Chains A and B, each alone.
Chain A
Amino acid sequence: MDLKLDAVTHRYSDVDVLRDISLDIPSGKITCIVGPSGCGKSTLLRLLGGLEKPTEGAVRQVGSPPEGCLNALTYVFQDFALLPWRTVEGNVALVLEDHKLPDQAAIIADVLARTRLTDFAGALPKQLSGGMKQRVAIARALAVNPAVMLMDEPLSALDSQTRELLMDDLVGLWTKQPFTAVYVTHNLAEAVRLGHRIVVLSRRPGEVREIVEIDTALDERAHGDAGLEAQQQYLWGLMREEAAAADAELMNV
């Protein structure tokens, strides 16, 4: 299932946040969205997942969600959003319980194995490190077999080593079983590491400034690869003045 943004414009009272965005989210690929702070990336993600209605234009699903999909558009949040009173297993179970599946236990076991959390099934969130918490959130998202995963800066609450490890995990997960994702980040290294396509937004009101495609397969993108380094430099060149301007704008408020 693909997602399609059709000339989407979004406004909060009289502030234009997003202007005339048309974008395809192809299935089986990771689309990264980068842009300066406050340009409307999170807003775009909320529009994509139906948590908000666009002021103008439309968000469309093209095709139908895959077989056995329980929640087509599934978020992974920056702050994990785990229920502190439920165990790892319980947090994954939460999103399955309403569906009354006969194989719920098998699904949970499977996603916990894929995210290497089997040994922590009975742990409470307060006992886990940040990286593990985000892996639980990813396991929970995988459990509903989503058509598109909507990830809003999923790694930015983590330290840089944990972030590297989790990126490896995501690459591993995708390589074993490709999923569709929209991945919002302000970290260009994450974008060139995980993105098949990188959408650069301009400062507010956010417009599509450029779309960069990276053809290297995800599992061949090594840390410190020269080609990726060049892509990252190029992206930074695009974003630099926007970011500076956005920064100055925020200070004027």
Chain B
Amino acid sequence: MSDQVTFRGGGFAPKRVRGLGVLVFVLLIAFAEWGTRSGMISALTLPRPSDVLGTFVELWQSGGLFKHLLPSLSRLAVGATLGVIAGVSVGVMIGLFAYARAGLVPLVAAIFPIPKIALLPLFVIWFGIDEASKYALIAFGTFTPTVVATYAAVDNVDRTLIRMGQSFGLTWWSIVRKIVLPGAMPGILSGLRISLNIAIILLVAAEMLGAQYGVGAYILEAGSLYDLERLFAGVVILSVLGVAVSSVIGMVERRLLRWRV
């Protein structure tokens, strides 16, 4: 008798599967379309995907899409950039200096669980009703998760590499720039996946509370009129934004982390 040895070494190694993500979306939407057309899902429960698409095309043709999307994107860009830069800097400081760690980790832990949206009135008082308060809210929301991800990533940088840098007499700044930051990059980037999505959530929240234009304002208006098609068109924009952010980070990871085994 000669049985082949069973293969049991598979799995546990992420690999790229193209198209599967798209297929999941297509199936879900096709199901909703079929359900609403066949009457199994009532029109009050869920708008018909083709109607949502129609609303979306209309929005696009009327120029309303960009009227709402551009202010949102610029708020997101400014707020998230500020938050990420501050978060990475503070995270690196916590990772490198015992005093920064002792002093700031409890503070970060204390502000992390605060729903930042609750602070919007405060930001409006501090920064005015205009753009600045929205930037501040988004920046503040991205700041805490970025800090936590960054200092954890800095903690995980191989200490022997840092000792090596010191033993060759590299300057402190060189060690941080050429050893600590690249070594922490994988952790920082996976932290960004979370903090940038938090930024999108806060963007909408800020726009709901006070903006004439913006995806959040558009959704709020649709919601108050119970216009489900427009509501969903807005939600689709947000989802697309989320997918776009995720794939941009994926691209950056593939570029910057090519060295990983």
Contacts and interface: CB of A to CB of B under 8 A. Distances in A.
Contacts of B179: 83
A205 B227 CA distance: 81
B242 interface: no
A157 to B, nearest CB: 12
Interface stretch (A1-9, A59-67, A93-101, A217-225): A93-101
B254 interface: no
A71 interface: yes
Contacts of A51: 163, 166-167
A82 to B, nearest CB: 8
A104 to B, nearest CB: 14
Contact of B167 (A74, A85, A125): A74
Contacts of B167: 49, 51, 71, 73-75
Chain B contact surface mostly: helix
A194 B42 CA distance: 85
A125 B165 CA distance: 17
A131 B69 CA distance: 55
Interface residues of A, number: 23
A49 B163 CA distance: 12
A75 B261 contact: no
Contacts, number: 51
Interface stretch (B19-27, B83-91, B170-178, B192-200): B170-178
Interface residues of B, number: 20
Nearest to B179: A83
B43 interface: no
B161 A98 contact: no
Contacts of B168: 71, 74, 94-95, 140, 144
A83 B160 contact: no
B260 to A, nearest CB: 7
B160 A81 contact: yes
B182 interface: yes
A77 interface: yes
A126 B261 contact: yes
A98 B259 contact: no
B178 A83 contact: yes
B164 interface: yes
B182 A71 contact: no
A73 B168 CA distance: 8
A84 B179 CA distance: 10
Contacts of B258: 124
B91 to A, nearest CB: 19
Interface string A139-156: 010001000000000000
Contacts of A77: 160, 164
Interface of A: 49, 51, 70-71, 73-75, 77, 79, 81, 83-86, 94-95, 97-98, 124-126, 140, 144
Given A71-B167, A81-B160, A140-B168, 5 more contacts: A71-B168, A71-B169, A74-B168, A84-B260, A124-B258
9 contacts: A51-B163, A71-B167, A71-B168, A74-B168, A75-B167, A79-B160, A81-B160, A85-B182, A85-B183
